[in-house]
Amino acid sequence: KNLIVALGEVVVDFIPTVSGVSLAEAPGFVKSPGGGPANMAVGAARLGAKVSFIGKLGDDMFGHMLLEMLEQNQVSGEGILFDPEARTALSFVTLRADGEREFMIYCNPKTDLRLKPEELNLDLLRSAKVLHYGSVSLMLEPCRSAHLKAMEVAKESGALLSYDPNLRLSIWPSPEEARKRILSVWDKTDIIKISDDELEFLTGCDKTDDETAMKLWHPNLTLLLVTLGAKGSRYYTKNFHGAVDSYRVKSVDATGAGDSFVGALLCKFVQDPTILENESKLREVLNFANACGAITTTKRGAILALPTEAEILALINGAKSQQGKPVWVV
Ligand code: ATP
């Protein structure tokens, strides 16, 4: 078994043609495929993993464009359905001068989250080595039940469950509802990746130290990862914990960095599951995943910016020879 299955949303991001302006001031936007689970899927496939996607798209031009994009990127779309009454979700993303973002998402959840439990491709889920998901698909029925059933079927067949909540507060009815739903699958998941902002949001603490991260630990968890943007990532397992620095790059758009980081990690996990038990192997993989996330921030758009293995190794080897000076300038 070496298949990664990603479950959830694939959307069209609209990225302003210039940085550092508000949505209202932006002179124009460029279409760019995105959506957390889809970014992870393409990221892992670009690094050589076998990946399938499960989700539902609007039966419109954008929906068909996104399926084609996934398949061109070697992500199998056999688990994707089209809904004639749904519109594919759009997300307008502002790029601040420092590469951080604000989102304005156009998705009508009543039509967008229509995947039903009985529509799941069970064969795909049963053959998965990893099932990866976010939290958007937990927002509403019937998609929530489909999401929970997918977790159950994959787990029963021996898959590892991987979770990146990818919090987008603006699409939830309230912060309390977002927190409750995000935490509802917490103790069933084996690998969880959150950002430092999500750590603050989920714990209600204004610190992101180890003690705060430990508040989110649960006994069934194999690996908890906290990503810290330019500062790299931290890892926690039952037996060890630590931090791995990222690389100095010229960031222009942070969209998809976290998803690309997880894609690199899962790709390495399916090749060698012992990375979760061996600290030095895990640190090596996180160094690779950090470099992958870092490169993703050097170009506009999420999926358009996902790197190949050769680009990641060039950054890692270049940084070694230049001793920490910025090595990747776009
Ligand atoms: P997203 O929600 O866009 O998917 P995230 O907030 O979940 O992103 P980040 O912490 O921004 O995730 O990024 C993931 C990883 O990518 C970081 O742990 C780091 O290794 C790398 N990274 C991100 N931004 C930068 C940066 N500006 N410079 C260097 N590395 C970065």
Calpha distance 14→34 (Å, rounded): 9
Can you tell me the ipTM of this complex?
0.96
* Closest-lying ligand 1 atom to the alpha carbon of residue 229: 10
Structure tokens at 151: 């977790």
Whole-number Å distance between alpha carbons of 316 and 115: 41
- Which of 96, 167, 297 for mutating ligand 1's site (highest number of atoms within 8 Å of CB)? 297
> Which residue from 261, 312, 327 has its CB within 8 A of the most atoms of ligand 1, so it is best to mutate?
261
Residue 246 near ligand 1, beta carbon < 6 Å: yes
The pLDDT tens digits for 227-259 are 999 999 999 999 999 999 999 999 888 889 999
Query: Closest residue (by CA) to atom 9 of ligand 1?
Result: 229
Question: What percent of the chain has a predicted confidence (pLDDT) above 70?
Answer: 94
Contact 60, 67 (CB under 8 A): no
Residue 184 CB partners (closer than 8 Å, separation 6+): 138
Question: What's the pTM?
Answer: 0.94
* Closest residue CA from atom 23 of ligand 1: 229
How many angstroms separate the alpha carbon of residue 185 from the centre of ligand 1? Answer: 24
Q: Give residue 327's identity as a one-letter amino acid code.
A: V
Residue closest by Cα to atom 19 of ligand 1: 232
Rg of the chain in Å (alpha carbons)? 18
Residue 232 Cβ inside 6 Å of ligand 1? The answer reads: yes
- Closest ligand 1 atom to Cα of 247: 29
Protein residue with least CA distance to atom 28, ligand 1: 230
Work out which ligand 1 atom sits closest to the CA atom of 251: 27
> Residue 315: enclosing H or E segment and its boundaries?
helix 309-322
Give the pLDDT score at 146: 97
Q: Which of 162, 227, 231 to mutate to test the pocket of ligand 1 (most atoms within 8 A of CB)?
A: 227
Which strands, in side-by-side order, build the sheet including 101-106?
29-34, 11-16, 90-95, 101-106
Smallest CA separation from ligand 1 atom 10, residue: 229
The residue with tokens 């990127």 is 73
What domains lie within the chain, and their CATH numbers? Answer: 3-322 (3.40.1190.20)
Instruction: Write the single-letter amino acid at 319.
Output: A
CA–centroid distance, residue 32 to ligand 1 (Å)? 19
| Residue pLDDT tens, the chain, 330 long | 899 999 999 999 998 888 888 888 889 999 999 999 999 999 999 999 999 999 999 999 999 999 999 999 999 999 999 999 889 999 998 877 765 677 888 876 666 689 999 999 999 999 999 999 999 999 999 999 999 999 999 999 999 999 999 998 888 999 999 999 999 999 999 999 999 999 999 999 998 999 999 999 999 999 999 999 999 999 999 999 999 999 999 988 888 999 999 999 999 999 999 999 999 999 999 999 999 999 999 998 889 899 999 999 999 998 766 655 554 443
